[in-house]
A = this chain, B = another copy of it.
Amino acid sequence: MDATIREGEKAVDPPRNFDASLVFIGTIHTPWHERGDCPRQGDEAGPDCRIDVDPHWREALEGIEAYSRLQVLYWMNEARRDLVLQWPRGAEKPCGTFALRSPVRPNPIASSIVLLVRREGTSLIVRGLDCRDGTPLLDLKPHRG
């Protein structure tokens, strides 16, 4: 059994075939260089972070300053993808992956709502992220409601 699995956790066969492909559209810069340094959850009172959007997509940012809150989708590129049961620290028993927001999941896409502080060209200064420095960006959307 895989040594990185804790008691009560369970892995299934990882997917052999993939169905769709993603392009990284930028990079997220945060003060946290190791996974262990990251806060457990983003905080709008936390430090400024910078989202650098690839200049190829520059015009897609047109009008984004009208929104104070954005939804950021990013790729948790260091997570394994085959665990169905996980035992989070502090939990009483193992829990299904889809009942957790853990980075470990079949498609490691994270979703955060952030406060847009300001735009600087193709960079956005935001607050409320909790990911590592260098995390690949997948999407930006205006936050509804």
A binding-site residues for B, Cβ under 8 Å: 10, 12-13, 15, 17-25, 41, 53, 56-64, 66-67, 71, 73, 75, 77, 81, 84-85, 94-101, 105-107, 109, 111, 136, 138-142, 144
Contact = CB atoms under 8 A, between A and B. Distances in A.
A77 to B, nearest CB: 7
B60 A97 contact: yes
A32 to B, nearest CB: 20
Contacts of A57: 12, 84, 97-98, 106
A64 B97 CA distance: 9
Report how many copies the assembly holds. Answer: 2
Given A57-B106, A73-B107, A109-B73, A100 B142 contact: yes
A59 B111 contact: no
A77 B20 contact: yes
B107 A25 contact: yes
A18 B22 contact: yes
A109 B139 contact: yes
Query: Which A-B residue pairs are the 8 nearest by beta carbons?
Result: A62-B96, A18-B21, A63-B99, A60-B97, A15-B23, A59-B84, A98-B140, A60-B84
